[in-house]
Amino acid sequence: MTRWAVVAVTLAACRHGGAPVAGPCPTAPVVVAAQAQVDALAGCASLAALHVRSAAPLDLTPLGGLVEVTGDLTIGPTLAITSVGLPALRRVGGTFRLDSGGLVSGVFAPQLTAVGGLTMRDAPALTTVSVPALTTVAGDVRLERVPALEHVDALALTTVVGDLVVIAPALSSWLGLAPQVGGVTTVQAPVGPGA
């Protein structure tokens, strides 16, 4: 059975007559590329890993109840997703990654408090990264090749265990104090009080 067939069978387990159910959600990593696959995850509060990639426009609203991803959460490559909003997400055990997000203009995770890593790169339309409750990144923070970036809302961020790499336009603003960084700091944009 191919990997896609396993994902399709696993996702089918989350659906019952097209309505979200509180039944079993996938326990294996999930790859989604179509709206029906996103819709099948409605009601899932926890996933092992999630990779969203598609050339089609996808509405990620069904992921609104997602609280935890124990592994990586990757958005991209995408061509037609315009915004990533995960209002209930609190923890990502691996890396929360936007990679090659063609039209994504904003990433919003207002309740996210901890991630293994945070990477936003190759996203030419990205203007806003909003993670105001994020306090700790257990690995690296990397914001690279984001030429339209205007705001990084990281008001609560105090600790980056790995590297902090921010390569963004000079007019970008970092909302929050400069975090304590355990690795190398490379900043080509304002980071710190009043920046």
What integer pLDDT is reported at residue 19 of this predicted model? 40
Q: Does residue 8 carry a pLDDT above 70?
A: no
Cis peptide before 77 (omega within 30 of 0): yes
Q: Does residue 11 carry a pLDDT above 60?
A: no
